[in-house]
Structure 1
Amino acid sequence: MTIFEHWWNPYDPSSLILETVSYTTFKYSYICFRIIDVIELGMIRFAVCNEIFEGWSLRQVFEYVSKLGYDGVEIAPYTIAKKVTDIGRGMRESIRRDAENLGLDIVGIHWVLRGVNGVHLTSPDPSVRGRTESYLRALVDFCSDIGGRIIVFGSPAQRSIPRGVDPMDAWMWAIDIFRRCSQYAEQHGVYICIEPLRRDMTNFINTVDEAIKLIEDVGHPNFRLILDVYAMTGVDEPIDRQIEKGGAYLMHLHANDDNMGGPGFGSADYRAVVKGLRNIGFKGYVSVEILRREENPAEAVKISIENLKKFFREY
């Protein structure tokens, strides 16, 4: 039994339901500290992406970040196996169980196409697009199996429009794949979220406006938006304005900085981040995604959550 099993639903903040647990000082203290955090931080919950912990097992990651006060973990499948289809049922059940035993949510998955050959969202080859759609369905299965709800679709290389392809054709191909996969995701309680990325990373979906247009063209409630602080710092528009624009569709946020480090490691305007999230009544996860290699990842992740809690308390 977990300390609490989804003691509040981040997508339904009214459901502050504590699970019945054994009466130990630790568990009472843990719950009290979490209630204080919820009150002070305005229902914001924090997760961390696991790929920063090179060489660590997932269980080691779960144990460490739970002690730091993280509420969840976001998993990059490539850290487990080259292809998500190579991750067996036993491993999937173990991931879910280990997280639950430590009171952690598996928030979802990201870097979903990294290292996977033969897949490309905007390829002119129908067979490649077919494999991409099939693989995205497999990712939905994996995300659901481990207890996740969100698939972050970043994967800049595998979505960029190839040279010579008409951008309108690429747009329609993406819509077709995302619409069908979103219908499949709905059956599993999973959301596919498009992530605007910097122009030096991809030529497909660089701004919140472009992401909103794609979301509205796909037209399915399980196709939503994720925003990334590093990416937003590369756009000539205030961060709070970008967040507010996407508010109707925003389900998730990656917290990092303009130098690719953790939140507060650079000069990103976190006052604007907090303002934007508060203005839209954001109730999803703020997930630390450190994009650069760190000599001491454990310390970087520790400082990241300390900075985030400071920002949300002070701003």
Structure 2
Amino acid sequence: MKTAVTLCRVPESAAGPFVFHEPLPESFAKAAAIGFDAVELFLEGPDAVPAEEIHALQQQHGLAIAAVGTGSGMVKHGLSLTDASPEKRKAALDFLLRMIGFGGRLGAPAILGSMQGKWSAEVPREKALDLLAGSLRIAGEAAAACGVAFIYEPLNRYETNLFNHFVAAAEFLDEREISNVVLLADLFHMNIEEREIAASLRAGASHLGHVHWADSNRQAMGFGHTDPAPVMAVLREISYSGYVSAEVFPIPDAETAAQQTFQSLATLR
């Protein structure tokens, strides 16, 4: 498995659970100095930073791009794939596809998290699931054309009412025959929702494509009460070779959070 750390350049997410918020040259340098294999990018949109600029930073610091987030579609533009408005749903899908293309130019998958939205009185659950399935199918095909997978993230109940459990999301992908879409296992969300994180990962192992390594309080692993040993044991058991990425609050500061994450992974691996 490979290590990554989150870099965020979205002003609306300045208080969000991302480690480095400095300009990209500074953040790339800090990530490389600590020893991470890659960075996970959260940008304002597909045109926020030229891919050529990111390629140059990669070459300078020897870092891969683990993934690109799409959350700015929600936090900055208010877009959701399950919005009651057909126009907003179309805008959300267009934004998502552009982010997939941007990530593809970097050899990286895009992540769908908050932009999945929720079901509501205006959009009942079954309709919302149909909309989600359709969007995931299109996203998976678009990502395949770029030579990467697409990543879907189940969230906790306070952020979505679509899928909160890892295995349920995996079964949904199978039932709807959605291809080239993998799941993100975010340990913070799983700490809230899963009876046993390790068991859920083992049961849905064939769908696992990305991990957010976060403690129970969304701080760096070791600063909360999650026991990471059983999780790491399962990742070794299933020969997981993807990224384990720090999507955590920069507490007490970004450098300490990054170092703590890296050390927790080094100790367990």
Structure-2-length-normalised TM-score: 0.90
Residues 30-78 of structure 1 show CA distances to partners (whole Å, capped at 9, x for unaligned) of: xxxxxxxxxxxxxx21000113355511111111111111000000113
Residues 145-187 of structure 1 show CA distances to partners (whole Å, capped at 9, x for unaligned) of: 2331x2221116x512233422011101111111112111110
- Pair 86,164 (structure 1): closer, same or farther in 2 beyond 3 Å: same
Could you list the runs of 5+ residues in structure 2 that have no partner in the other structure? 9-17
Post-superposition offset of 1:142: 1.1
Pairing 1:1-315 to 2, within 5 Å after superposition: 44-51=1-8, 52-53=18-19, 55-78=21-44, 84-87=45-48, 91-112=50-71, 113-148=73-108, 150-155=109-114, 159-290=117-248, 292-312=249-269
Computing the radius of gyration from Cα coordinates, the structure with the larger value is 1
Separation in 2 of the partners of 1:287 and 1:295?
18
What is the alpha-carbon root mean square deviation over aligned residues? 1.8
| Corresponding residue SS for 2:101 | helix
Separation in 2 of the partners of 1:310 and 1:161?
41
Structure-1-length-normalised TM-score: 0.77
Separation in 2 of the partners of 1:209 and 1:202?
16
Q: 1:66–1:102: 8 Å Cα contact kept in structure 2?
A: yes
- Pair 210,236 (structure 1): closer, same or farther in 2 beyond 3 Å: closer
| Larger RCO, structure (CA 8 Å, separation 6 or more) | 2
Q: 1:74–1:106: 8 Å Cα contact kept in structure 2?
A: yes
Separation in 2 of the partners of 1:295 and 1:264?
13
Q: 1:262–1:288: 8 Å Cα contact kept in structure 2?
A: yes
Post-superposition offset of 1:111: 4.5
| Corresponding residue SS for 2:218 | coil
- Pair 143,236 (structure 1): closer, same or farther in 2 beyond 3 Å: closer
User: Number of paired residues?
Assistant: 259
Q: 2:2–2:243: 8 Å Cα contact kept in structure 1?
A: yes
Separation in 2 of the partners of 1:74 and 1:152?
10
Q: 1:49–1:289: 8 Å Cα contact kept in structure 2?
A: yes
| Corresponding residue SS for 1:163 | coil
Could you list the runs of 5+ residues in structure 1 that have no partner in the other structure? 1-43, 79-83
- Pair 99,176 (structure 1): closer, same or farther in 2 beyond 3 Å: same
**What is the percentage of aligned positions where both structures have the same residue?**
25
Separation in 1 of the partners of 2:67 and 2:199?
26
